[in-house]
Structure formats: structure tokens, C-alpha cells
A and B are shown apart, each in its own frame.
Chain A
Amino acid sequence: MNEPPPTSPLLQVQGLTLQYKTEKHLVTATYRVSFDVYAADRFVLLGPSGCGKSTLLKAVGGYMAPTEGSMLLKGRPVRGPGADRVFVFQEFDQLLPWKTVKQNVVFALESSHKLRGRAAEAQALRYIDKVNLAKFADSYPHTLSGGMKQRVAIARALAMEPDVLLMDEPFAALDALTRRRMQDELLELWAEVRFTVLFVTHSIPEAVLVGNRILLLSPHPGQVKGELNSDGSDRTDPASGCKLSERIHDMLFADRIEEQEVLPHG
């Protein structure tokens, strides 16, 4: 707590307003959102559905231009998708089904001109081994389970050694047991590699477990409600006597609880 913060943030998001068009509407997804991510942060964007957290991640990924505000990665403005920010999506079809596990990772390294040939293969195998899939390096994705596919996606992203890893609810499509194991594995990987990750989730327990810093967003449109620290243990806050997850729950769902209390009871 007393340590001085690192000199400058890795990723600075300032006053970001994001809007997108649907067929009939212009939707404001986030309104003047600002936050700073430092190197080796496990920075969680948490909020109910409709708070624009995935849109926010897409913007950082360079897939949409902001209406207002700026995003600086290592001091340079974010323009378009790039291999310095690698995405891990929720969908299992993010792996190329026509390539084996190893080829998927090599594909990423070669397409982005990061490494080629033998060097790319060695790097791929190193990270596939890190996610414990060495035995499946030559398997095609459709033969793997959901959890294994997500591990491949994580290995592919980590092999790129990006400045920041962007994870969009990567474990949401997994069953509860697998999800729990994947969260632990992600933390083990972080302890080993010390990557920086921007992690989107709508699950409070996941945010508390995975994140060291949690950004709370309100819905319609997404606005910052606060930033909290987490040590992964869901500790009790001395001031309020509440657990971290309870505090987050109260902050995010305060409006909804009031609504419910107004309803007449039958």
C-alpha cells in the first residue's frame, strides 16, 4: 500500500465515449470512461450486461473508434487492431478449425510477422506446454473440450507476448468446474509470466478472484462507478465490515434492490 505507483501507466483510457449504430438506433455504450492500467495489472472490467464493458474492450482492441476521448498504449494512441493487444474471446470458434493447436499458435506468430519458421514453432510449443496441452499440439480444435480450446486461445495470445492481453469473458461458456480450474490456471500463468491483462466479466466472484484491480461500471450507458483493489481472497473491508464481493454487489445492484423493495409484496 505504501509503495509508490510505477511512474507511468501502460494503458491510459481518458474520457472515452463509445457509440455504435444498430439498424434503427444510435446507442451510447459508454460515457466518459477513464482508467489507467499498469504493467502486470490484472485489471477487471465488471458490470451488469449493457454496461458496455465488451464494447470498451473492443475499442481498446482497436476494432472501433471512440466518439470522444483517447486511449494511449505506452503513450501512443490506439489506432486499429494490432498484435500488441491480443484478444481472447468467449467463443470457442476463435480457433481456426483448419489448423492444429500448434499451427494455430504458429499462425498468429507468423501472420503478425513476429516470428517465423523454427523460432515460431519453438515459441508455440513453449506456450502450449505452459497451458499443459503439449500432448495435444497436433490435434485439431474440434477434438478438444471447451476448456482446452480456451487454453489454446490463451497460449496463442501469450505466445505473442503482447503489451496487454484482452480477455472478453473467456470462461463464460465453460461449465462451473472447468471455469474454476481455468481461473486458477490463469493466476498460475500470471505468477509465472507476469503479463498485463484487461479482463471483462459480469461475474462478481470471478472478478474478485482474478483481478487485482476492479473497475465497476454502471449500465446504459456504461459509466465508472469506482475502482476497487482485490487480493483474490474476498477479504472483509474493515470500514464497512462487508466482504469485497458484497460491497461490489451492493454498489452494482443498489438501484435494482431499491426497485424490488418498492414492489408490493403479495
Chain B
Amino acid sequence: MADLSMSAGRFQHLPPVRHEYLRDVVAGKDIGVIETPLTFPQRLASQSWLRKAMVLLLIAIAWELYARYLNNPLLVPTFTATLEAFAAGIQSGDIPLKALNSMQLLLKGYALGLALAMAFTALAMMSRVGNDLLETLTSAFNPLPAIALLPLALVWFGLGEVSIIFVLVHSVLWAVALNTHSGFRSVSPTLRMVGRNYGLKGPRLVAKILIPAAFPSILTGLKIGWAFAWRTLIAAELVFGVSSGKGGLGWYIFENKNMLDIPAVFAGLFTVILIGLAVENVIFRNIEAVTVRRWGMQS
């Protein structure tokens, strides 16, 4: 204290000395609102699907207005004309059939790509050579657009399903392997030690610790892989859609363009977008809800 009062002369800016005081706090029930449910509009506004639907609605309105202003259905058909073409396509069974063809092909390529990605990642986790192999291959092939391999695939495998599956595998494999591998590598050493402490090693350690712990990254890989595969497929079908008599959505778009049925072209694009949205918002979102979100690994 003596020190303080001595230095007070030297330092002009000491805080003022205030009185101490004590108070009783008000009991919770007397305050009124401490926690109350939000109002209905507030709850609506916090639903992200509703906000996103509003965005889509605005885009549709803008599209409709612009198309009417342009008044040239060969360049931009109206939103309503597109919807009509879409409904007609659905009714005739043409769009569902083409979509089914595309999805079948896509799932084959996707599954094969995932299997190969798993094999590569396992190899990379087990040995340093495998690690170097995966890192080199991913850095070399990941930037290579799958569609650029299509001419080569045509020479190797001919005009058929195999060529498309080949490019699909290429588009899925590297994205998934890269993400899974980096996910495994970022699993905390503590968790690995916990696993080994309870007697886990080798494949059991991978299955019980590494895969769930790396699941956020793996899921990201799956999503990116799916998006890559989907766009690669549509592009590949545009180039040579009709394989063994079964065309997909890309072929549907290409065919209708040739017939200058532009609303149907838009309906085809519309279907591609709808399927993309559905997979992202229904399938992947639900996987996230029961896994990484529930585990608190992603907000």
C-alpha cells in the first residue's frame, strides 16, 4: 500500500477509489422471461430448407420474367414452358427412363471408384511406398478432367458402357482417396493410442477407430466424388450418349437440341439439377444428421 501511494504522485492516472457494495439477486421466477419459445415466423426463418426454397423461387420468377421479355423460345424458353416440357417428359416416361439409365451407370462407376479408393487408401496406410504411390497419383490425376480421358477410353474400350464407367471411376477415385487418406492422417494420436490401449490393431483399429474418426473427411470425399461423377457422366453422354440402345439424360439433352426442342433441353437440365439437389439434400444430409452432426464432429 505504501508503494502504491508513493507512486501515485508519479503516475497521474490511477483509477478512482470506489465504495464496495453487495446486492441480493432477484429470484429467477420474478424476472419474467428467461427462456421462451420463438414465435412462428422466427422458427420458419430458421429453417434452412425454407430459405433455400425461397431462393429457388426467386430464381424461377426472374427466369420467367426474363424469358417473357426476350420472347425467343429457341434461346430461352420460359420457366412454365420448361415445366410443361418436364411434365410431358415425365408422362411419356422418357425422362424417368433416361434418368434411370444414367443412375444405373453412375452407381456402377461410383461403386467401383469407391472400392478402388478404399484399396488405394489401405495400401497407403499400410506402407510408405503405398503412401508415396497414392500421393503421387492423386496429385497427378486429380487435376486431370475425367472427360479428357474419354477419347482414350473410346479407343481402349470402344463405344459402350465400359468407356463411361472408366471415366466415372477416374472422376471418383482420386477425390475420394485423397479425402479419405487425409482424414486418416488427421486422426488424433490420442485416439489411436486409446484404440491400441484396448488391444486394437491392424484392420480392427482401422474399422473401429480410424474410419469413424475420419468420417467427416470421408463424407466430404463421397460428396465431391458424387458431384464429379454426376457431371462427368452427363458430359460423357453428351459426347456419345447412346450406348447399346440405352441413352441417359445427357443423351436426352443432346437429342432434343438436335431437334431444336429447347424447352425439352431445359427440362433435361432441370432433371439433372433436381437429382443433384435431391442427392445432396436428402441422402447426404441425412447421413450427416445421423453421423457427424450427432457426434458433434460437424456443426
Contact in complex: A111, B212 (CB < 8 Å): no
Interface status of B194 (Cβ within 8 A of chain A): yes
Interface residues of A in 93-142 (CB under 8 A from B): 93-94, 96-98, 107-108, 111-113, 140-142
Interface majority SS on B: helix, strand, loop or mixed?
Answer: helix
Q: A142: which B residues are within 8 A, CB to CB?
A: 295-297
Query: Number of contacts between A and B (CB, 8 Å)?
Result: 65
Given A87-B193, A98-B215: A112 touches B296 (CB 8 Å cut-off): no
| Complex CA distance for A258 and B122, rounded to whole angstroms | 56
B184 smallest CB distance to A (angstroms): 15
| Complex CA distance for A113 and B198, rounded to whole angstroms | 9
* Contact with B188, one of A93, A108, A113 (Cβ below 8 angstroms): A93
Interface status of A81 (Cβ within 8 A of chain B): yes
**B195, B198, B204, B208 — most chain A CB neighbours (10 Å):** B198
Contact in complex: B212, A141 (CB < 8 Å): no
Query: Closest residue to B205 on the A side, CB-wise?
Result: A111
A223 smallest CB distance to B (angstroms): 26
Contact in complex: B193, A63 (CB < 8 Å): yes
Interface status of A82 (Cβ within 8 A of chain B): yes
A239 smallest CB distance to B (angstroms): 37
**B199, B204, B294 — most chain A CB neighbours (10 Å):** B199
Q: A86: which B residues are within 8 A, CB to CB?
A: 197
Query: Closest residue to B215 on the A side, CB-wise?
Result: A98
Chain B, interface size category, equals 20 to 34
* Contact with B296, one of A63, A97, A160 (Cβ below 8 angstroms): A97
Q: A94: which B residues are within 8 A, CB to CB?
A: 190-191, 194
Interface status of A83 (Cβ within 8 A of chain B): yes
* Contact with A98, one of B188, B196, B199, B291 (Cβ below 8 angstroms): B291
Given A140-B294, A140-B296, A141-B296: A81 touches B193 (CB 8 Å cut-off): yes
Contact in complex: A96, B196 (CB < 8 Å): no
B208 smallest CB distance to A (angstroms): 7
Chain A, interface size category, equals 20 to 34
Q: A161: which B residues are within 8 A, CB to CB?
A: none
Q: A83: which B residues are within 8 A, CB to CB?
A: 197-199
Query: Closest residue to B200 on the A side, CB-wise?
Result: A111
Interface status of B167 (Cβ within 8 A of chain A): no
Interface status of A89 (Cβ within 8 A of chain B): yes
Contact in complex: A143, B296 (CB < 8 Å): yes
Given A81-B196, A111-B198, A113-B199: A96 touches B190 (CB 8 Å cut-off): no
| Complex CA distance for A197 and B46, rounded to whole angstroms | 50
| Complex CA distance for A91 and B208, rounded to whole angstroms | 20
Q: A89: which B residues are within 8 A, CB to CB?
A: 190, 193-194
User: Which residues does A use to contact B, with CB under 8 Å?
Assistant: 61, 63, 81-83, 85-87, 89, 91, 93-94, 96-98, 107-108, 111-113, 140-143, 160
CB-defined A-B contacts under 8 Å, sample of 6:
A61-B197, A82-B199, A83-B199, A89-B193, A142-B296, A160-B198
Lowest 9 CB-CB distances: which A-B pairs, in order? A142-B296, A111-B198, A81-B196, A112-B199, A98-B295, A97-B295, A98-B212, A112-B198, A91-B190
User: Which residues does B use to contact A, with CB under 8 Å?
Assistant: 188, 190-191, 193-200, 204, 208-209, 212-213, 215, 291, 294-297
